[in-house]
Structure 1
């Protein structure tokens, strides 16, 4: 892995995600971390008064930009003090909305991974509030860090999966070959309250071994009627350092409604979630 992109909003949960990235960079071959700050002001905000009857002027926008640049310099200084000395830190300030700003940086810089802080509602986090849209629209992998999560070397990872779409597991091969940054033991979990796996265990086991032969992995089953609860309880019991969400409609992340995804990420106070593409 060469480059990490981190959208910035200066919230506590965002700061924690940046610390996580710095500590992770000491274990993995990271060459660059990009800190992206968006300070988009819509046309309506510039021509219509606020509830206090105040208009946002060009001077206000410029003052905000200067304030952001000072904050970014301070953040970059702290990050350099925490990072491996060989990691380059770059800052980008954009006047575009955050999702568009992210896509512009991805197009220009080609990062391998984006890291965002999960928002549990304890504070106002502009990035956290848009985490669903950011994660779903991102063309690169997204790592969501819970607010109180510290970095631990990733030795075991949990992959929730629907074995009716077992072919999706093929995307895992790229993690330990193309970027050389992730090679944990894998625990594949099929949460199956309808017990469709019974009698097909050998079939599923053979399919998994064929698709994920580059990892040490083991297949597990849960019959919990609440899929999210089953996943998070298993992750806690097994003390995994990462949950990996597969792409596509059969992913536990993508196969939920918007509110359920938000609830799942809010309930997940311990484990980083890597959303694959």
Structure 2
């Protein structure tokens, strides 16, 4: 059974991410946790910080959060009934990061799914501030769904790597099982100035090959110094449906996403993006 956490601010972007996740995992037994952390909403509406004001606003926002989450649960449970899926709601007077981490640990979550942007929906950036925080700091794989991206069966998955980090079996299993029902092709793209690999890289590559034994996998080499350009080239040439990257220190993802402010990024994705967090979990 797979456990999936979906934070929502009730924006259309967030709802689109929920729809995508429910469709993507339609063949699997899953528990979906719809979560709304509304502490920031309370602060945003409180101008005169008296205890009475905070209590009143908190109660109103709490009630609204629970009602909206309940509506989402009812919609997917009743109108899009799938006997393999079970739904839970998690309204919380907490900050997004704190509540996300708490639920990930408490429920042993396998995957977080969320929209790339929320209510603010700034057209000039790839990831909204909330999504970026989750990508950077939550110790769980994150699948980010772009605005208005419509679900289609996975056919081609791109996984750029330098083979320098040891991969976690749990997270490679997640990708393996995600691709398998669709018979999707996984392209392992090694971007480097040289075709040669160290012993460490060869061992890590062999580990991937073993873990992906049930999948269609291609090992490719791109001789280049330009990581982002090579990634976009591969996405376009292969009509890629999902980009997968490892989030760990000194990885491609860290170099691309976290080295500068998000509004300066050249990585403007219009396909789902799966960030595997290279950390040890039970």
TM-score tier, shorter chain, comes to: 0.7 to 0.9
Aligned-pair Cα RMSD in Å: 3.4
Structure 1: give runs of 5+ residues left out of the alignment. Answer: none
Number of residues of Structure 1 aligned to a counterpart in Structure 2: 264
The alpha-carbon distance between structure 1 residues 56 and 128, as it changes in their structure 2 partners (threshold 3 A), is farther
Determine if contact 1:167/1:211 at 8 Å carries over to the other structure: no
Structure 2: give runs of 5+ residues left out of the alignment. Answer: 278-282
Shift of 1:187: 0.7
The alpha-carbon distance between structure 1 residues 169 and 240, as it changes in their structure 2 partners (threshold 3 A), is farther
Match of 1:15 in 2: 15
The alpha-carbon distance between structure 1 residues 240 and 41, as it changes in their structure 2 partners (threshold 3 A), is closer
Mapped pair 1:109 → 2:107: yes
Determine if contact 1:33/1:90 at 8 Å carries over to the other structure: yes
Mapped pair 1:242 → 2:239: no
- TM-score by structure 1 length? 0.80
Match of 1:60 in 2: 57
SS of corresponding position for 1:212: helix
Distance 2:96 2:134 in 1: 8
The alpha-carbon distance between structure 1 residues 70 and 30, as it changes in their structure 2 partners (threshold 3 A), is same
Q: Could you tell which deviates more after superposition, 37-46 or 143-152? A: 37-46
Match of 1:175 in 2: 174
Mapped pair 1:85 → 2:83: yes
Distance 1:169 1:196 in 2: 26
Determine if contact 1:119/1:266 at 8 Å carries over to the other structure: no
- TM-score by structure 2 length? 0.78
Match of 1:6 in 2: 6
Distance 1:202 1:41 in 2: 48
Distance 2:12 2:266 in 1: 17
Match of 2:253 in 1: 253
Match of 2:39 in 1: 40
